[in-house]
Structure 1
Amino acid sequence: MPSDAVLYQAAALCLTYPDDDFRARLPLLREAAPQLREFADHAAVTDAQELAAHYVQVFDPTGRHGLYLSRWRDGDTRRPGMPPARFEDLYREHGLESSGEELPDFLPAVLEFAARTGNLDLLVEHRDGLEHLRSRLTDRGTPYASVLDAVCATLPPGTAGDR
């Protein structure tokens, strides 16, 4: 398990729809992943309906902040990257299956995969897209940017070959 496994698992939770289960886990999330306290504190004091509406607005799958990594290539959501089947194949290689609730390239699923297996390949391969998403969330002024800040800070620096 990677040293950042708890962070990846907590970030996955932060980037899923903020339902009652999410709210119940906020105190644990806050303690387990200090890098995410800013977001956890914001979520804890924000009205549940307001937080849910904000999530839907920010992560509208047709918008500029999509959480489906196969939509990102070179930071551009109009040019698709690797197909979702590549994600499924890697999950199976590690004895895991996607739940079927979301597509396998859903960022929270990729973060959970990294947390459970220690394999950062998908995160590293999509670093450019993650950085663009982080930048767009920062520009929008949403607290979700701090979650991407924490995740991106754990990844090795990109190289010219990654771009």
Structure 2
Amino acid sequence: MSLLKLIGVLLDYPRDALWEHGEELLAAAQDDALPPARRMALVQYVRDLLATEPLEAQERWLALFDRGRSMSLLLFEHIHGESRDRGQAMVDLIEAYRRNGYELSARELPDYLPLLLEYLGQRPPEEARDWLQHVSHIIGLLAARAGERGSSHAVLLETLVEYASGVVDIDALRRRARQEPRDDTPEVMDQLWEEEAVRFGAEAPAQDCDPSATRAPRPAAAPSHANPQVQP
């Protein structure tokens, strides 16, 4: 298992099958290409994960990556938001996958970071680093935000940025993240639901039923990502 695929697997929603491959995960974490300190941190992350009950690990994942948009693992959400450019960017990314024999299922979003890492894990290292350098500013902020929230996932994201660029000023990124308003608090989440709820009845303003004025809230559920198959 390549380092990028390992990080992708560990960043993905932790399904029960993950614990069945513990030895393989530990072996992949002991990558000689990593600096000793980073390698030890990655190995410790895997050991801690394997010692955690699956339900608890799943709850932690949802609390970090599925509440608010600042920690979304959908990369284009950070770049394009809800603009129309996001749709075209997804089409372009799917075409890039297909040119190299990598087909997605109909339910998969191409900009989902764990999926991108699985793809890049099969590409030449120079190409993979080039791809990651283009999004390293996003991954670096994700790493900083995860660290500020006390999440152990920070080590995965920090490792990814270091793989792409060799160095990362995580302290500077954390200072920036510290100044950002949190978007995963109960108060903010309640406000988001209130703003996005469709209201009916005599008190409902007319624009509530205008599709251009409403946006369905994201469900708090596990992503539908499944391991894509590489076509020969």
TM-score (norm 2): 0.59
Within-5 A mapping of 1:121-140? 121-140=130-149
Corresponding residue for residue 104 of structure 2 = 98
1: CA distance, partners of 2:162 / 2:140? 10
Please give the per-residue CA displacement for 1:25-60, whole angstroms capped at 9, x wherever unaligned: 222111112232122111111121111111111110
Check conservation: 1:38, 1:146, Cα contact below 8 A.
no
2: CA distance, partners of 1:67 / 1:19? 17
Aligned with residue 86 of structure 1, among 76, 80, 92 = 92
Q: Please state whether the residue corresponding to 1:84 is helix, strand or coil.
A: helix
Check conservation: 1:61, 1:67, Cα contact below 8 A.
no
Q: Partner letter of residue 132 of structure 1?
A: L
Q: Runs of 4 or more off by more than 4 Å in structure 1?
A: 77-82
TM-score (norm 1): 0.82
Question: Measured at CA, do residues 150 and 61 of structure 1 come closer, stay the same or move farther in structure 2, by a change above 3 Å?
Answer: same
Check conservation: 2:29, 2:46, Cα contact below 8 A.
no
Q: Please state whether the residue corresponding to 2:102 is helix, strand or coil.
A: coil
Q: Please state whether the residue corresponding to 1:105 is helix, strand or coil.
A: coil
Please tell me the root mean square deviation across aligned C-alpha atoms, in Å.
Answer: 2.3
Corresponding residue for residue 22 of structure 2 = 26
Q: Partner letter of residue 53 of structure 1?
A: E
Q: Partner letter of residue 21 of structure 1?
A: A
Structure with max Cα Rg? 2
Is 1:7 the counterpart of 2:3 in the alignment?
A: yes
1: CA distance, partners of 2:2 / 2:68? 30
Q: Please state whether the residue corresponding to 2:57 is helix, strand or coil.
A: helix
Aligned with residue 49 of structure 1, among 55, 66, 69 = 55
Matched residues, number: 151
Give the unaligned 5+ runs of structure 1.
159-163
Give the unaligned 5+ runs of structure 2.
31-38, 168-232
Q: Please state whether the residue corresponding to 1:22 is helix, strand or coil.
A: helix
Q: Please state whether the residue corresponding to 2:109 is helix, strand or coil.
A: coil
